[in-house]
Amino acid sequence: MAEVIDGNRIAREVRAEVRAQTLELKEKRGITPGLAVVLVGEDPASKIYVGHKEKAAAEAGFLSREYRLPAETTEGSLREIVAGLNASPEIHGILVQLPLPKHINPDVVIETIDPRKDVDGFHPVNIGGLFTGRPGHRACTPLGVIELLDRSGIAIEGKEAVIVGRSNIVGKPLALMLLNRHATVTICHTRTRDLAAVARRADILVAAAGRAEMVRGDMVKEGAVVIDVGINRKADGKLVGDVAFAEAAARASYITPVPGGVGPMTIAMLLRNTLSAASLWGEAGA
Ligand code: GUN
């Protein structure tokens, strides 16, 4: 039976470290990390996420600024707001919550953010940095997966890692992060032939497909580490991941639950990215 990786506990640890380092940054250099969170429209899930991000930022001792804009906001005026935040000395991190309303091109907005303030790690400059192994912000959810593995004492080097899902937010950046840590990486997707056979090769199996309980027990190699990035709400209101938990746990060595696994790590890593943006601000090369 698998050991359950407690994402709530690990996220609390990271957040406590960020809080302590924030205090030190304030005392030694007089810098308070500032995070601006921008939400356009009324998407209910986004409203909840944004609320959690603002609360976590305040708890870490950050300056937290929120911009809740109407759904009719134009791309031009959103870009003007972002440009203003780029120029603001008290803001070190800018997060524009996705998805944006259909009339706004998210790529154009993301490219407006100063890459040094792009604490989501979505700007092409930061993605390029990940690709080539140069410094820069890394996307929070895949970074959280790496942190869970590291803090659980799970080695990555030399392992067979299989990721189910190829999104820009999770699957693709996580593949590069695992590759940079010397794993052998395979990305599976909807057109993959014999997904189960590929998944069964994995020492580290990551489910990030956005489909409820699609990873079944017979796709998990005995002793594999199973990381579930999915959050899906079933018809009965219950939250489940992309992994059929009980079946997978019967074969895995470690497994993350949903909720309480990867989810809480995303915000913890957002705080860490913002702290790092604030401490690098004004330093040579930053
Ligand atoms: N929507 C879903 N996940 C994320 C995220 O990590 N960052 C932003 N900005 N929007 C999201």
CATH of residue 65: 3.40.50.10860
State the distance from the centre of ligand 1 to the C-alpha of 97, rounded, in angstroms. 5
Which residues, in sequence order, are CB contacts of 132 under 8 Å at separation 6+?
none
Residue 16 domain flag:
no
Range of the domain at 79: 29-114
Q: Distance between CA 254 and CA 242 in Å, rounded? A: 16
- Considering the chain, what percentage of its residues have pLDDT values greater than 70? 99
Give 184's strand partners: 160
* 285 pLDDT above the threshold of 60: no
What is the pLDDT averaged over residues 118-145? 97
Q: Tell me: do 34 and 89 sit in the same domain.
A: yes
What is the pLDDT averaged over residues 192-214? 98
Q: Tell me: do 162 and 216 sit in the same domain.
A: yes
Atom of ligand 1 nearest to the CA of 266: 6
Residue 126 domain flag:
no
The residue whose CA is least distant from atom 8 of ligand 1 is 97
Q: Distance between CA 122 and CA 115 in Å, rounded? A: 9
Query: For 26-75, what is each residue's pLDDT tens digit?
Result: 999 999 999 999 999 999 999 999 999 999 999 999 999 999 999 999 99
Residue 130 domain flag:
no
Task: Collapse the DSSP code of 39 into the 3-class scheme (helix H, G, I; strand E, B; otherwise coil) and give the result.
Answer: strand
Residue 121 domain flag:
no
Q: How many CB atoms lie within 10 A of CB 114?
A: 17
Q: How many CB atoms lie within 10 A of CB 8?
A: 14
CA angle, corner 157, sides to 190 and 135, nearest 5? Answer: 85
Query: For 94-121, what is each residue's pLDDT tens digit?
Result: 999 999 999 999 999 999 999 999 999 9
Reported as a pLDDT band with limits 50, 70 and 90, residue 284 is low
Of the candidates 55, 105, 268, the one whose C-alpha atom is nearest the C-alpha of residue 47 is 55
Mean pLDDT, the chain, integer: 97
Atom of ligand 1 nearest to the CA of 140: 6
Reported as a pLDDT band with limits 50, 70 and 90, residue 283 is confident
Reported as a pLDDT band with limits 50, 70 and 90, residue 3 is very high
* 92 pLDDT above the threshold of 60: yes
The residue whose CA is least distant from atom 3 of ligand 1 is 98
Residue 12 domain flag:
no
Atom of ligand 1 nearest to the CA of 99: 1
Active site residues: 53, 97, 120
Residue 1 domain flag:
no
The residue whose CA is least distant from atom 11 of ligand 1 is 98
> What residues line ligand 1, using a CB cutoff of 6 Å?
95-98, 120, 140-141, 169, 266
* 257 pLDDT above the threshold of 80: yes
Q: Distance between CA 278 and CA 31 in Å, rounded? A: 7
